[in-house]
Amino acid sequence: MNGINGLITIAKYWREWSNPRLIVLHNTITPRGVWGASEDSLMAASVSLRRVTPEIVSEIARGAKTVDLRVREGRFQRWLALAAGLSSALSGLEVGYLHYRGSYSRRVMYTPVILSAALAGAGVAAFCSRRAAKTVLPAVSALTLADCAIGSYFHIRGIQRKPGGWRLPLTNITMGPPIFGPLLFATSAYLGILASFLRRDEGVLPAGFPRPARVKHWARALSAAHEHIGWEQDLREGRFQKHMAIATAVSASCSGFEAFYSHYKSNFRYKVQWTPVLVGPLLTAAAVGAVVSPRVANTLLPAFSAAAMMDGAVGFGYHLRGVARRPGGTMLKLYNVIHGPPVLAPLLFAAAGFFGILASLLRRER
Protein backbone atom coordinates (compact mmCIF):
# COMPACT_ATOMS: atom_id res chain seq x y z
CA MET A 1 0.00 0.00 0.00
CA ASN A 2 3.01 2.31 0.35
CA GLY A 3 4.02 2.08 -3.31
CA ILE A 4 7.54 3.20 -4.17
CA ASN A 5 8.31 4.18 -0.57
CA GLY A 6 7.91 0.60 0.52
CA LEU A 7 10.24 -0.62 -2.23
CA ILE A 8 12.88 1.92 -1.19
CA THR A 9 12.68 0.70 2.41
CA ILE A 10 12.97 -2.93 1.28
CA ALA A 11 16.02 -2.16 -0.88
CA LYS A 12 17.74 -0.56 2.10
CA TYR A 13 17.03 -3.09 4.87
CA TRP A 14 16.42 -6.51 3.26
CA ARG A 15 19.97 -7.74 4.00
CA GLU A 16 19.32 -7.32 7.74
CA TRP A 17 16.25 -9.58 7.75
CA SER A 18 16.53 -13.15 8.97
CA ASN A 19 14.09 -14.29 6.27
CA PRO A 20 14.35 -11.84 3.35
CA ARG A 21 11.19 -12.71 1.44
CA LEU A 22 8.76 -10.34 -0.17
CA ILE A 23 5.18 -11.29 -0.94
CA VAL A 24 3.79 -9.24 -3.82
CA LEU A 25 0.01 -9.15 -4.23
CA HIS A 26 -1.14 -8.64 -7.80
CA ASN A 27 -4.85 -7.79 -7.71
CA THR A 28 -7.08 -7.77 -10.78
CA ILE A 29 -9.76 -5.49 -9.34
CA THR A 30 -12.88 -4.23 -11.06
CA PRO A 31 -12.81 -0.62 -12.32
CA ARG A 32 -14.96 0.64 -9.44
CA GLY A 33 -12.52 -0.53 -6.80
CA VAL A 34 -9.00 0.85 -6.79
CA TRP A 35 -7.67 1.19 -3.25
CA GLY A 36 -11.11 1.47 -1.74
CA ALA A 37 -12.38 -1.77 -3.28
CA SER A 38 -15.15 -3.70 -1.62
CA GLU A 39 -14.43 -6.87 0.34
CA ASP A 40 -16.13 -9.03 -2.30
CA SER A 41 -13.95 -7.65 -5.10
CA LEU A 42 -10.81 -8.15 -3.01
CA MET A 43 -11.79 -11.74 -2.26
CA ALA A 44 -12.38 -12.34 -5.97
CA ALA A 45 -9.01 -10.85 -6.96
CA SER A 46 -6.37 -13.23 -8.26
CA VAL A 47 -3.22 -13.20 -6.12
CA SER A 48 0.24 -14.22 -7.35
CA LEU A 49 3.14 -14.75 -4.99
CA ARG A 50 6.76 -14.10 -5.87
CA ARG A 51 9.84 -14.35 -3.69
CA VAL A 52 12.77 -11.99 -3.82
CA THR A 53 15.64 -14.00 -2.34
CA PRO A 54 19.41 -13.53 -2.17
CA GLU A 55 19.72 -16.19 -4.88
CA ILE A 56 18.09 -13.83 -7.39
CA VAL A 57 20.40 -11.00 -6.39
CA SER A 58 23.44 -13.25 -6.66
CA GLU A 59 22.27 -14.45 -10.09
CA ILE A 60 22.05 -10.83 -11.30
CA ALA A 61 25.50 -10.12 -9.87
CA ARG A 62 26.88 -13.23 -11.57
CA GLY A 63 25.46 -12.10 -14.91
CA ALA A 64 26.98 -8.63 -14.49
CA LYS A 65 30.38 -10.18 -13.74
CA THR A 66 30.10 -12.35 -16.85
CA VAL A 67 29.39 -9.32 -19.03
CA ASP A 68 32.27 -7.41 -17.44
CA LEU A 69 34.64 -10.35 -18.00
CA ARG A 70 33.66 -10.71 -21.66
CA VAL A 71 34.17 -7.01 -22.27
CA ARG A 72 37.57 -7.03 -20.58
CA GLU A 73 38.64 -10.06 -22.62
CA GLY A 74 37.35 -8.62 -25.91
CA ARG A 75 34.67 -11.31 -26.33
CA PHE A 76 31.81 -9.05 -27.36
CA GLN A 77 32.16 -8.87 -31.12
CA ARG A 78 28.52 -9.67 -31.79
CA TRP A 79 27.14 -6.96 -29.53
CA LEU A 80 29.58 -4.26 -30.63
CA ALA A 81 28.73 -5.03 -34.26
CA LEU A 82 25.06 -4.69 -33.42
CA ALA A 83 25.74 -1.39 -31.63
CA ALA A 84 27.61 -0.14 -34.71
CA GLY A 85 24.66 -1.06 -36.90
CA LEU A 86 22.15 0.62 -34.58
CA SER A 87 24.15 3.86 -34.31
CA SER A 88 24.57 3.81 -38.09
CA ALA A 89 20.82 3.52 -38.55
CA LEU A 90 20.23 6.49 -36.22
CA SER A 91 22.86 8.56 -38.02
CA GLY A 92 21.41 7.59 -41.38
CA LEU A 93 17.93 8.74 -40.42
CA GLU A 94 19.35 12.00 -39.09
CA VAL A 95 21.37 12.58 -42.26
CA GLY A 96 18.43 11.57 -44.43
CA TYR A 97 16.06 14.28 -43.34
CA LEU A 98 18.81 16.92 -42.98
CA HIS A 99 19.79 16.34 -46.60
CA TYR A 100 16.10 16.37 -47.48
CA ARG A 101 16.05 19.96 -46.22
CA GLY A 102 18.79 20.65 -48.76
CA SER A 103 16.62 19.00 -51.46
CA TYR A 104 19.45 16.54 -52.19
CA SER A 105 20.94 19.20 -54.45
CA ARG A 106 24.01 17.01 -55.04
CA ARG A 107 24.07 13.30 -55.75
CA VAL A 108 26.81 12.79 -53.17
CA MET A 109 24.22 13.61 -50.51
CA TYR A 110 22.65 10.21 -51.12
CA THR A 111 25.82 8.30 -50.24
CA PRO A 112 25.64 8.55 -46.40
CA VAL A 113 21.99 7.45 -46.48
CA ILE A 114 22.85 4.40 -48.58
CA LEU A 115 25.97 3.55 -46.59
CA SER A 116 24.18 3.92 -43.26
CA ALA A 117 21.67 1.29 -44.36
CA ALA A 118 24.52 -0.90 -45.62
CA LEU A 119 26.43 -0.56 -42.33
CA ALA A 120 23.30 -1.33 -40.34
CA GLY A 121 22.79 -4.49 -42.40
CA ALA A 122 26.47 -5.40 -42.02
CA GLY A 123 26.17 -5.02 -38.26
CA VAL A 124 23.22 -7.38 -38.13
CA ALA A 125 25.01 -9.84 -40.42
CA ALA A 126 28.12 -9.70 -38.21
CA PHE A 127 25.93 -10.41 -35.19
CA CYS A 128 24.73 -13.61 -36.83
CA SER A 129 27.85 -14.70 -38.75
CA ARG A 130 31.52 -14.83 -37.79
CA ARG A 131 32.49 -14.72 -41.46
CA ALA A 132 30.48 -11.53 -42.08
CA ALA A 133 32.15 -9.93 -39.07
CA LYS A 134 35.57 -10.55 -40.61
CA THR A 135 34.75 -9.61 -44.20
CA VAL A 136 31.60 -7.57 -44.85
CA LEU A 137 31.65 -5.44 -41.70
CA PRO A 138 35.20 -4.02 -42.01
CA ALA A 139 34.77 -3.41 -45.75
CA VAL A 140 31.53 -1.44 -45.32
CA SER A 141 32.96 0.40 -42.29
CA ALA A 142 36.07 1.48 -44.21
CA LEU A 143 33.93 2.69 -47.10
CA THR A 144 31.76 4.64 -44.66
CA LEU A 145 34.83 6.27 -43.09
CA ALA A 146 35.97 7.43 -46.53
CA ASP A 147 32.51 8.83 -47.25
CA CYS A 148 32.53 10.70 -43.92
CA ALA A 149 35.86 12.31 -44.85
CA ILE A 150 34.36 13.45 -48.15
CA GLY A 151 31.25 14.70 -46.31
CA SER A 152 33.39 16.76 -43.94
CA TYR A 153 35.00 18.46 -46.93
CA PHE A 154 31.63 19.30 -48.51
CA HIS A 155 30.22 20.63 -45.23
CA ILE A 156 33.24 22.87 -44.65
CA ARG A 157 32.99 24.10 -48.25
CA GLY A 158 29.27 24.71 -47.77
CA ILE A 159 29.98 26.99 -44.80
CA GLN A 160 32.69 28.81 -46.75
CA ARG A 161 30.28 29.48 -49.64
CA LYS A 162 27.66 31.15 -47.46
CA PRO A 163 27.54 34.98 -47.51
CA GLY A 164 30.49 36.24 -45.49
CA GLY A 165 32.22 32.85 -45.47
CA TRP A 166 34.57 32.30 -42.54
CA ARG A 167 34.53 36.01 -41.73
CA LEU A 168 31.19 35.31 -40.00
CA PRO A 169 32.03 31.94 -38.39
CA LEU A 170 29.35 31.77 -35.70
CA THR A 171 26.52 32.83 -38.01
CA ASN A 172 27.50 30.59 -40.92
CA ILE A 173 28.33 27.55 -38.76
CA THR A 174 24.99 27.94 -36.99
CA MET A 175 22.92 28.45 -40.14
CA GLY A 176 24.99 26.32 -42.52
CA PRO A 177 25.45 22.54 -42.81
CA PRO A 178 26.40 20.77 -39.53
CA ILE A 179 30.17 20.89 -39.63
CA PHE A 180 30.69 17.93 -37.30
CA GLY A 181 27.82 15.80 -38.62
CA PRO A 182 30.03 13.55 -40.79
CA LEU A 183 32.43 12.97 -37.89
CA LEU A 184 29.57 11.75 -35.70
CA PHE A 185 28.56 9.34 -38.44
CA ALA A 186 32.19 8.18 -38.65
CA THR A 187 32.05 6.92 -35.05
CA SER A 188 29.64 4.20 -36.18
CA ALA A 189 32.14 3.06 -38.81
CA TYR A 190 34.89 3.16 -36.19
CA LEU A 191 32.87 0.79 -34.00
CA GLY A 192 32.40 -1.52 -36.96
CA ILE A 193 36.13 -1.71 -37.61
CA LEU A 194 36.83 -2.38 -33.93
CA ALA A 195 34.21 -5.13 -33.86
CA SER A 196 35.89 -6.93 -36.75
CA PHE A 197 39.02 -7.47 -34.62
CA LEU A 198 37.26 -8.71 -31.49
CA ARG A 199 36.48 -12.25 -30.45
CA ARG A 200 33.03 -13.76 -30.22
CA ASP A 201 31.34 -14.98 -27.07
CA GLU A 202 30.06 -18.18 -28.67
CA GLY A 203 32.13 -20.55 -26.58
CA VAL A 204 35.88 -21.11 -26.79
CA LEU A 205 37.83 -22.20 -29.83
CA PRO A 206 39.54 -25.61 -29.65
CA ALA A 207 42.80 -25.38 -27.77
CA GLY A 208 46.03 -26.41 -29.44
CA PHE A 209 49.74 -26.16 -28.86
CA PRO A 210 50.64 -22.58 -27.82
CA ARG A 211 52.05 -20.60 -30.71
CA PRO A 212 55.32 -18.78 -29.98
CA ALA A 213 55.49 -14.99 -30.25
CA ARG A 214 59.07 -14.93 -31.55
CA VAL A 215 59.93 -16.09 -35.05
CA LYS A 216 63.15 -17.87 -33.96
CA HIS A 217 61.68 -19.55 -30.88
CA TRP A 218 62.42 -23.27 -30.45
CA ALA A 219 58.68 -24.06 -30.26
CA ARG A 220 58.38 -23.35 -33.99
CA ALA A 221 59.81 -26.82 -34.53
CA LEU A 222 56.53 -28.14 -33.09
CA SER A 223 54.26 -25.52 -34.64
CA ALA A 224 55.08 -23.79 -37.89
CA ALA A 225 52.92 -20.78 -37.03
CA HIS A 226 53.77 -18.00 -34.61
CA GLU A 227 51.58 -15.32 -33.07
CA HIS A 228 52.65 -11.75 -33.63
CA ILE A 229 52.14 -9.60 -30.53
CA GLY A 230 50.96 -6.15 -31.53
CA TRP A 231 47.98 -3.84 -31.70
CA GLU A 232 45.79 -6.48 -33.36
CA GLN A 233 46.22 -8.81 -30.40
CA ASP A 234 45.48 -5.93 -28.02
CA LEU A 235 42.20 -5.34 -29.83
CA ARG A 236 41.30 -9.04 -29.76
CA GLU A 237 41.94 -9.18 -26.02
CA GLY A 238 40.00 -6.01 -25.20
CA ARG A 239 43.07 -3.87 -24.54
CA PHE A 240 42.05 -0.66 -26.28
CA GLN A 241 40.80 1.57 -23.49
CA LYS A 242 42.81 4.55 -24.73
CA HIS A 243 41.48 4.17 -28.28
CA MET A 244 37.90 4.09 -27.04
CA ALA A 245 38.54 7.05 -24.74
CA ILE A 246 39.77 9.07 -27.73
CA ALA A 247 36.65 8.07 -29.68
CA THR A 248 34.57 9.18 -26.69
CA ALA A 249 36.31 12.56 -26.61
CA VAL A 250 35.74 13.10 -30.34
CA SER A 251 32.09 12.05 -30.18
CA ALA A 252 31.34 14.10 -27.05
CA SER A 253 33.03 17.26 -28.35
CA CYS A 254 31.29 17.04 -31.73
CA SER A 255 27.90 16.29 -30.16
CA GLY A 256 28.31 19.08 -27.61
CA PHE A 257 29.21 21.60 -30.30
CA GLU A 258 26.29 20.46 -32.47
CA ALA A 259 23.97 20.88 -29.47
CA PHE A 260 25.37 24.36 -28.81
CA TYR A 261 24.67 25.88 -32.20
CA SER A 262 21.40 23.95 -32.58
CA HIS A 263 20.12 25.40 -29.30
CA TYR A 264 21.67 28.77 -30.15
CA LYS A 265 19.19 29.00 -33.04
CA SER A 266 16.33 28.98 -30.52
CA ASN A 267 18.19 31.41 -28.21
CA PHE A 268 18.34 28.74 -25.44
CA ARG A 269 14.66 29.18 -24.70
CA TYR A 270 14.69 26.49 -22.02
CA LYS A 271 17.33 26.18 -19.31
CA VAL A 272 17.58 22.43 -19.95
CA GLN A 273 19.09 23.28 -23.36
CA TRP A 274 22.29 24.22 -21.57
CA THR A 275 22.82 20.73 -20.15
CA PRO A 276 24.39 19.08 -23.24
CA VAL A 277 26.54 22.18 -23.70
CA LEU A 278 27.87 21.68 -20.16
CA VAL A 279 27.99 17.86 -20.04
CA GLY A 280 29.70 17.59 -23.44
CA PRO A 281 32.93 19.39 -22.44
CA LEU A 282 32.98 17.58 -19.08
CA LEU A 283 32.76 14.21 -20.82
CA THR A 284 35.40 15.30 -23.33
CA ALA A 285 37.77 16.34 -20.52
CA ALA A 286 37.15 13.06 -18.68
CA ALA A 287 37.84 11.05 -21.84
CA VAL A 288 41.08 12.93 -22.50
CA GLY A 289 42.06 12.39 -18.86
CA ALA A 290 41.29 8.68 -19.23
CA VAL A 291 43.92 8.46 -21.96
CA VAL A 292 46.53 9.65 -19.46
CA SER A 293 45.27 8.23 -16.16
CA PRO A 294 43.73 4.82 -15.42
CA ARG A 295 42.17 6.28 -12.29
CA VAL A 296 40.23 8.85 -14.32
CA ALA A 297 39.14 6.06 -16.68
CA ASN A 298 37.60 4.15 -13.77
CA THR A 299 36.02 7.08 -11.89
CA LEU A 300 35.26 10.32 -13.73
CA LEU A 301 34.77 8.79 -17.17
CA PRO A 302 31.91 6.41 -16.25
CA ALA A 303 30.29 9.09 -14.09
CA PHE A 304 30.16 11.73 -16.83
CA SER A 305 29.28 9.06 -19.40
CA ALA A 306 26.24 8.03 -17.37
CA ALA A 307 25.28 11.71 -17.08
CA ALA A 308 25.54 12.09 -20.88
CA MET A 309 23.34 9.05 -21.46
CA MET A 310 20.68 10.34 -19.07
CA ASP A 311 20.87 13.82 -20.59
CA GLY A 312 20.48 12.34 -24.06
CA ALA A 313 17.37 10.43 -22.96
CA VAL A 314 15.86 13.60 -21.46
CA GLY A 315 16.74 15.58 -24.59
CA PHE A 316 15.10 12.95 -26.78
CA GLY A 317 11.86 13.46 -24.84
CA TYR A 318 12.09 17.24 -25.21
CA HIS A 319 12.74 16.99 -28.94
CA LEU A 320 9.75 14.71 -29.39
CA ARG A 321 7.64 17.18 -27.46
CA GLY A 322 8.99 20.00 -29.63
CA VAL A 323 7.91 18.15 -32.77
CA ALA A 324 4.45 17.49 -31.32
CA ARG A 325 4.01 21.18 -30.41
CA ARG A 326 4.68 22.48 -33.89
CA PRO A 327 1.72 23.66 -36.03
CA GLY A 328 -0.13 20.57 -37.12
CA GLY A 329 1.42 18.48 -34.34
CA THR A 330 1.16 14.76 -34.90
CA MET A 331 -1.14 15.30 -37.86
CA LEU A 332 1.90 16.37 -39.91
CA LYS A 333 4.46 13.96 -38.49
CA LEU A 334 6.87 13.81 -41.42
CA TYR A 335 6.85 17.54 -42.05
CA ASN A 336 7.38 18.44 -38.40
CA VAL A 337 10.11 15.84 -37.91
CA ILE A 338 11.99 17.23 -40.92
CA HIS A 339 11.61 20.91 -40.04
CA GLY A 340 11.42 20.65 -36.26
CA PRO A 341 14.14 19.95 -33.69
CA PRO A 342 16.44 17.06 -34.71
CA VAL A 343 14.73 14.13 -33.03
CA LEU A 344 17.65 11.71 -33.07
CA ALA A 345 20.43 14.16 -32.18
CA PRO A 346 20.06 13.57 -28.39
CA LEU A 347 20.43 9.82 -28.95
CA LEU A 348 23.72 10.43 -30.75
CA PHE A 349 24.81 12.47 -27.73
CA ALA A 350 23.83 9.54 -25.51
CA ALA A 351 25.93 7.29 -27.76
CA ALA A 352 28.99 9.29 -26.72
CA GLY A 353 28.15 8.33 -23.14
CA PHE A 354 27.90 4.71 -24.21
CA PHE A 355 31.39 4.91 -25.69
CA GLY A 356 32.66 6.25 -22.36
CA ILE A 357 31.01 3.47 -20.36
CA LEU A 358 32.52 0.91 -22.72
CA ALA A 359 35.96 2.52 -22.42
CA SER A 360 35.80 2.37 -18.63
CA LEU A 361 35.19 -1.40 -18.78
CA LEU A 362 38.07 -2.18 -21.13
CA ARG A 363 41.67 -2.96 -20.26
CA ARG A 364 44.49 -0.61 -21.10
CA GLU A 365 47.00 -1.18 -23.86
CA ARG A 366 50.35 -2.68 -22.94
Domain boundary among 200, 227, 261: 200
In a domain? residue 121: yes
How many angstroms separate the Cα of 138 from the Cα of each of 126, 352, 353? Answer: 10, 21, 24
Indicate if 24 and 101 belong to the same structural domain. Answer: no
Q: What is the pLDDT of residues 169-197, one digit of tens each?
A: 888 888 888 888 898 899 899 999 988 88
Q: What is the pLDDT of residue 68?
A: 64
Average pLDDT on 203-232 reads 55
Mean pLDDT for the chain? 80
Task: Between 88 and 199, name the one with better pLDDT.
Answer: 88
Q: What is the pLDDT of residue 106?
A: 87
Q: How confident is the model at residue 318 (pLDDT cuts 50, 70, 90)?
A: very high
Please tell me the distance from the alpha carbon of residue 17 to that of residue 53, in angstroms, as a whole number: 11
Q: Which residues contact residue 301 at a Cβ distance below 8 angstroms, ignoring those fewer than 6 apart?
A: 245, 248, 286, 287, 289, 290, 356, 359, 360
Indicate if 270 and 340 belong to the same structural domain. Answer: yes
What is the tally of structural domains in the chain?
3
pLDDT reading at 219 higher than 90 = no
Task: Between 140 and 34, name the one with better pLDDT.
Answer: 140
Q: Which residues contact residue 204 at a Cβ distance below 8 angstroms, ignoring those fewer than 6 apart?
A: none
Indicate if 103 and 150 belong to the same structural domain. Answer: yes
Question: Which of 252, 320, 243, 248 is CA-nearest to residue 281?
Answer: 252
CB atoms within 10 A of CB 365: 12
Cβ 283 vs Cβ 356: under 8 Å: yes
Average pLDDT on 316-321 reads 92
Indicate if 251 and 323 belong to the same structural domain. Answer: yes
In a domain? residue 83: yes
Q: What is the pLDDT of residue 42?
A: 40
Domain of residue 180: give its range: 77-200
Average pLDDT on 309-333 reads 90
Please tell me the distance from the alpha carbon of residue 352 to that of residue 312, in angstroms, as a whole number: 9
Indicate if 94 and 156 belong to the same structural domain. Answer: yes
Indicate if 244 and 304 belong to the same structural domain. Answer: yes
Three-point CA angle 70, 71, 77, nearest 5°:
85
Cβ 157 vs Cβ 178: under 8 Å: no
In a domain? residue 230: no
Indicate if 195 and 296 belong to the same structural domain. Answer: no
